[in-house]
């Protein structure tokens, strides 16, 4: 019987223990660090006895114990087994993004065999989220009390455009006029997308809701506005203070060239009237939900807000833009975030769309469909 190290495998130190984590259906298992050396002997299909010969500086009993533990964890696979075939398929399918993306995806899955335990953990968290729960509460709002600020207009947004029209008119714009956007228009977009619509009693504390869904109403996403061309505002990065409906200047000065660079040198990122960086405040989510899968939910929440932002911008006569491509550390540093407890996860933007859109793809015609594999 020949064995091979699983392709879908990550090893790491956690709480002073060496953990072998075969994330495609295996079990995270704390082992002696010698297991890493044993795994190195199973890079390709090999008999255990042959691998033991290569590990001649270890005793046969040590190798045998490690092999048994690694097989039980799913880190060593048997040739021609269902697990080995699945591992090969996953390695081919995820090769472009490995190892980070498949580890995140499979490492945050809810295991059906663990579901009762996971469900009980969720129930326990719900029970703990009561008025007399111990431990610190997260801050509902982010504020910069010492920052200079601009109180925003409270003119209601004219959102009388039919939903169907906004849905079908929405397009990602990459060419903008450069004309400044009125402050009232920006204010209407911010309050409609990010402002509280009402407050609910979670049992332990008050939480707020937005026009977009959010897991557990944790509202962990803050909005930082990069102003390039907005009437009445100096260029720079501002935090949108939801409670006060104001913009707090957190990092003055911003040029189109700098914004373009922060957006991984995509030229259209610096041509908008303003950008909006969505930053996830980790403890707002983790203080309630302990499962790592909750980070997935935070990214989904960013997508919900991005769609609401795009539709609202369209209804207000603006062209929206969104991208996941930005220099994470540089953008966080420019805004003043530590990129640990508060991390950029999505970059939005808007401005007046130019009449000509050279970056826009043409509609597909016959030649395009001739080149297309539909099924």
For residues 3-39, one letter each, b for 16 or more C-beta atoms within 10 angstroms of the residue's C-beta and e for the rest, the string is bbbbbbbbeeeeeeebbbbbbbbbeebebeeebeebb
**Element holding 14 (H helix, E strand):** strand 10-14
The pLDDT value recorded for residue 194 is: 98
Residue 295 and residue 370: Cα distance in Å, rounded?
41
Name residue, tokens 């190290």.
5
The pLDDT value recorded for residue 91 is: 97
The pLDDT value recorded for residue 116 is: 56
Residue 281 and residue 306: Cα distance in Å, rounded?
17
Nearest Cα neighbor of 310 from 211, 227, 242, 180 is 211
Residue pair 193/301 in contact (Cβ under 8 Å)? The answer is no
Residue pair 343/174 in contact (Cβ under 8 Å)? The answer is no
Give all domains of the chain, ordered by start, each with its CATH number: 2-107 (3.90.930.60), 149-351 (3.40.109.10)
The pLDDT value recorded for residue 122 is: 62
Nearest Cα neighbor of 126 from 216, 221, 207, 199 is 216
**Contacts of residue 5, Cβ cutoff 8 Å, sequence gap at least 6:** 39, 40, 42, 43, 75, 76, 77
The pLDDT value recorded for residue 25 is: 87
What's the average pLDDT block by block, 10 residues per block, for the chain (375 residues)? 96 96 93 94 95 93 95 96 97 97 95 66 61 66 97 89 94 96 98 96 90 92 98 98 98 98 97 98 92 95 98 97 98 97 98 94 95 96
Coil/strand/helix, residue 325: coil
The pLDDT value recorded for residue 138 is: 79
**Contacts of residue 242, Cβ cutoff 8 Å, sequence gap at least 6:** 141, 194, 195, 196, 208
Residue pair 193/211 in contact (Cβ under 8 Å)? The answer is yes
CA distances to 137, 141, 142, 308 from 243, in Å: 18, 7, 9, 20
CA distances to 58, 110, 112 from 291, in Å: 38, 9, 15
- CB-side exposure of 108: number of CA atoms within 13 Å? 16
Residue pair 41/55 in contact (Cβ under 8 Å)? The answer is yes
């Amino acid at each position: 019987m020949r064995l091979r190290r699983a392709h879908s495998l990550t090893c790491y130190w956690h709480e002073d223990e060496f953990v072998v984590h075969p994330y495609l259906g295996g079990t995270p298992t704390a082992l002696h660090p010698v297991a890493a050396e044993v795994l190195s002997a199973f890079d390709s299909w090999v008999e255990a006895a042959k691998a033991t010969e290569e590990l001649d500086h270890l005793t046969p009993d040590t190798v045998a114990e490690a092999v048994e533990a690694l097989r039980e964890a799913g880190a060593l696979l048997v040739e021609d087994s269902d697990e080995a075939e699945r591992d090969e398929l996953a390695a081919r399918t995820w090769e472009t993004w490995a190892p980070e993306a498949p580890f995140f995806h499979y490492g945050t899955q809810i295991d059906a065999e663990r579901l009762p335990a996971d469900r009980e953990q969720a129930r326990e968290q719900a029970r703990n989220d009561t008025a007399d729960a111990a431990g610190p509460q997260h801050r509902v709002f982010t504020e910069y009390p010492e920052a200079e600020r601009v109180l925003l207009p409270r003119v209601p947004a004219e959102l009388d455009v039919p939903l169907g029209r906004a849905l079908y008119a929405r397009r990602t714009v990459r060419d903008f006029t450069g004309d400044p956007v009125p402050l009232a228009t920006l204010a209407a977009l911010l309050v409609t997308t990010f402002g509280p619509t009402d407050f609910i009693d979670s049992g332990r504390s008050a939480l707020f809701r937005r026009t977009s869904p959010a897991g557990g109403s944790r509202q962990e996403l803050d909005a930082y506005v990069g102003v390039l061309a907005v009437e009445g505002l100096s260029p720079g990065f501002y935090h949108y203070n939801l409670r006060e409906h104001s913009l707090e200047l957190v990092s003055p000065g911003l040029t189109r060239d700098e914004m373009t660079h922060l957006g991984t040198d995509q030229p259209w990122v610096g041509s908008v009237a303003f950008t909006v960086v969505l930053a996830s405040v980790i403890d707002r989510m983790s203080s309630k939900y302990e499962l790592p899968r909750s980070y997935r939910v935070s990214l989904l929440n960013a997508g919900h807000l991005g769609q609401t932002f795009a539709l609202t911008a369209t209804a207000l006569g603006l062209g929206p833009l969104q991208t996941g491509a930005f220099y994470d550390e540089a953008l966080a540093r420019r805004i003043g975030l530590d990129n640990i407890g508060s991390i950029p996860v999505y970059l939005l933007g808007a401005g007046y769309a130019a009449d000509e859109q050279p970056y826009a793809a043409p509609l597909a015609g016959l030649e395009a469909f001739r080149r297309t594999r539909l099924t």
